[in-house]
Amino acid sequence: MTTTNFCNDWRYEKNIFKWNWAYRGIRIRIYTLVDASGNYASDTLSEWLFKDDGAGEILNKDGIASRVDIYHNWGLKMY
């Protein structure tokens, strides 16, 4: 996975085990910022940090980075 294309909320898959029938599946991913103790990030921090809403709409032009960058390119630990 060398690009951020895997961040799409949808994905078409091919089921190779059922006589090559096409299978369409939906994969939903939900990400939340938490600290090492499991506490959720505050709304104030999120409004300051994120530029967009995750769907491409800019909410804060002065934000630090987009959600895709923060969740996938910053090297945050996943639980």
pLDDT of residue 4: 52
pTM, full prediction: 0.57
pLDDT of residue 42: 92
pLDDT band at residue 54 under the 50/70/90 scheme: confident
Element (H, E) at 25: strand 22-26
Element (H, E) at 23: strand 22-26
CA 52 to chain centre: 12
Instruction: For the chain, give every domain's residue range.
Output: 32-79
